[in-house]
Structure formats: structure tokens, C-alpha cells
Amino acid sequence: MKTPGYLLCVMATLLTAPFANAELTEAAAIEQGMAQPAIQSLLEAQQDQAEGERLSAGRWDNPDIEYSRESLDLRSGQSEETTWWVRQRLDLAGSKGLERDAAAMTEEAAETRVVMERRQWRARIREQFYDALAAQIRAQALTDHSQRLQRMATVIEQRVAQGDASRYDSLRMNQERTRAQSAATEAQARHRAQREQLFSLVGGDPERLGGALLPPAVAYEEHPLKQHPELKMLTALEQSATLKAKAARRAAWPEVSLGVGRKTLDEGGYSAEGNAIALSVEIPLFDRNEGDVQRARGLAHEYAADHALTHNRLRAQLRALRLTLAAQRESAQELRRAMNTGDDSLSAIAEASYQAGELSVMELVDAYRTELDTRLQYIDSARAARTTFIQLQQLEGQ
């Protein structure tokens, strides 16, 4: 039995409806962004360059094939001599193997650099996500504030019509409502701009974002810098430079070239043929590779010193980020505790007091502003804590 077409449409609508308005989370944004073809191509291109350098390093010299033919006119007749040679330079010192090992370490450093690049892209997507989320929450806060002032302005106008409030109260509240509406419009525009920037990274159409702006409390690792990619990269580069220095020292050894061939001779009706062998040894008289050895050794020392300095810098940065995050989270939590909602909120109490004649319209406006400022300050504080949290996670390799 076939299902009617209109029922299929209804079923498809019901199945896709819950996902049509689904909120985009941080994890989904990272996954969606890192799957972008441009980012993948960039990371793969860097990986290919590193692998290409390894494949081209430490290769033996290609063999030479030589053909020679000599013809002479002698009194006894014509003489022809033909020789075939195959010559190969030998790596008896083993410098090529050391060069390959050095290239492998360089590739490892390049792979670690790609890991760092990938982490930077992830951090960039995360920061842009929370920029857009903070702009979304801020726009919602200002919109709620504007709508509340609109409702209160309507109430005051009704009271003015009944003679229970002055015209000044109505004008003052309408001015405050206009300012709030203008601020909400600007915040919505900034939110759209931030959202467009986010989706230029992750792709797709802009949608509503979901998630908590304030980062959670985390348990810190005791030694989080052991596997830090920047330190691993410098270690690999130091090892590569050390191997290059060793290869450069061995490259100063005499190079040996071996040649084998076949020779034929035709002279005055007489012919002969036989095998030929040649051995040549380079004399390291003028070039003993001292410059390459010193450069590679100096580079290894530079990477070792850079590793120590980088470790100290990262350790200090780690401590600073942990202290900053703790202070920012505490500040944001204090502001969140100060934001009462419902009937216990500052604005609700002020509205009730105003209608009871206990507060002036200026005191009512001040209550609205104080409540809004506390909410906006919480958003800024939570966003700052989230930025520090992302930096700390990136530093710790999480």
C-alpha cells in the first residue's frame, strides 16, 4: 500500500520541524567550521609541504650513465674504441641516513605546527561563537528592557488620562522608552553582524545560538605543558638541527664514487672487449664543511634556548590565566546573584512603589537603568571569563 504524497509531506514536516529551529551549540559550530573545505585544504597543504621536505631529504645521488666512442686513423687501419660507464657516488659516511632522520624530525615539527594551526582555528571559531552569543544575549536584554519601558509608558499614559499621574511622568518615561528602543535596535544590528562573521567561518545560514556564556569551573592538570605543541615543535627542531650537524661532520669525510663499465676495441681487423672499473675518492682539502657544521650546531643551541624560554613564558602565562579566570568567574557570579528576577527584582519593586505613590518617575527610571546595567555588566564579565577560559584551554591543549 502506497502512502499518499500529501502524507509524506506532512511526515517530512513533522520530522524536520524540531531541527529547523534548533540552536547552534559551540560543539556543533566547531565541527561544522573545521569541516569547511578551505580550512581542510589549508591544513592538508601544510602537511603535504612537510612530507615533501622529508621525501626529498637524504636521497642518494642519481647514477650517471656515460657513453663514449673514439675513432682514430692509424697506419695499420682504423681504430674504434667504445666504452659504457655506470657511475654511482657512495654514501660510506652515512650522512644521507642522518639527513633523512633530521628531515623526519623536521616533518614532526611541521606536523606539530599543523596541530597548533588547527587549535588556533578552533579557538578562533569558539571566540567568534561566544562573541555572537554575547551579542545575542545583549540584544535580548536591551529588547526586554525596551518592551518593559513600553508597557510602563502605556500604564503611565492611562494614569495621566485618569488624573493619577502628571504629564511630566509620561513625557519622561516616553523619552526613556525611546532611548531604550534605539539602544535595542543598535544591539540587534551588532548581533546580526557578529552572527554573520561567525557563519562566514562555519558556513551555513545564520541561526540562533545556544549555550552558557559563563564558563564552568574546571579542575586543573598538574603538568599541562608537557605535551604542549609549541614545546614539542622546538624539541623536534632541536633534534633535527643536532642530526644535521652530525650529518654535516660526516659529509666532510672523503666521498667515493664507483664506476663499472664495458669497453670494446676494434683495431685493424683485431677486436677485443672487457669489463672496466673505476674508483674515485674526493680529497677534502679546501672544503671540510666547517661552516655547515657550525651553523647546524648553533641552530640546535638556539632551539634549546628557545625551548627553555618558551616553557617559562607558557608557565607564567598559565598561572596568569588561571588567576584571571578565577577572578572573572567570581565577579560574574556576584553580578548574577545580584540580578533578582520576578517579583523580587528591583524594577518590579520600583513599579509597585511608583504606583503606590512612594517613588517618583525619576527613581523608577533609575531602578530600570540600574537593573539593566547590572545585567549588561554580567554579560561583559561572563564574556571576558569565557575568552580567558578559551585561552586557558588552548594553552593546556584541551
pLDDT tens digits, one per residue of 333-387: 999 988 877 767 888 889 888 888 888 899 999 999 999 999 999 999 999 999 9
The answer, yes or no, to whether residue 9 has pLDDT greater than 60, is no
What ranges do the domains of the chain cover? 23-59+91-252+295-396, 65-90+256-287
Question: Would you state the pLDDT for residue 11?
Answer: 37
Question: Would you state the pLDDT for residue 379?
Answer: 96
* Cα 281-285-286 angle, rounded to 5 deg: 125
Taking only Cα atoms into account, the Rg of the chain, rounded to an integer number of angstroms, comes to 38
How many angstroms separate the CA atoms of 361 and 169, rounded? 6
Backbone angles phi, psi at 221, to 5 degrees: -75, 155
What percentage of the chain carries pLDDT values higher than 70? 87
CATH class, 23-59+91-252+295-396 region: mainly alpha
Amino acid in position 65: I
- Matching residue, cell 511630566: 168
Q: What would the pLDDT profile of 125-163 be if each residue is shown by its tens digit?
A: 999 999 999 999 999 999 999 999 999 999 899 989 888
How many angstroms separate the CA atoms of 290 and 315, rounded? 38
Q: Give the domain 65-90+256-287 fold.
A: S-adenosyl-L-methionine-dependent methyltransferases (2.20.130)
Question: Would you state the pLDDT for residue 56?
Answer: 67
Question: Would you state the pLDDT for residue 267?
Answer: 75
pLDDT-derived band at 6, boundaries 50, 70, 90: very low
pLDDT-derived band at 13, boundaries 50, 70, 90: very low
Q: What would the pLDDT profile of 291-304 be if each residue is shown by its tens digit?
A: 777 888 888 888 88
- Does residue 333 or residue 46 have the better pLDDT? 333
Question: Would you state the pLDDT for residue 142?
Answer: 95
**Between the CA of residue 25 and those of 32, 125, 211, what are the distances in Å?**
10, 12, 6
Nearest CA-CA partner of 397 in 235, 232, 234: 232
Q: Is 100 exposed, middle or buried (0-12, 13-18, 19+ CB in 10 A)?
A: middle
Nearest CA-CA partner of 209 in 148, 147, 126, 142: 126
Question: Would you state the pLDDT for residue 10?
Answer: 35
Q: What would the pLDDT profile of 308-336 be if each residue is shown by its tens digit?
A: 998 899 999 999 999 999 999 999 999 99
The answer, yes or no, to whether residue 270 has pLDDT greater than 90, is no
The answer, yes or no, to whether residue 17 has pLDDT greater than 50, is no
Which of 64-68, 100-104, 376-380 shows the lowest per-residue confidence on average (mean pLDDT)?
100-104
How many angstroms separate the CA atoms of 218 and 314, rounded? 19
Say how many C-beta atoms besides its own lie within 10 A of residue 157's C-beta: 16
Q: What would the pLDDT profile of 195-241 be if each residue is shown by its tens digit?
A: 999 999 888 887 789 999 999 988 777 777 877 888 888 888 888 88
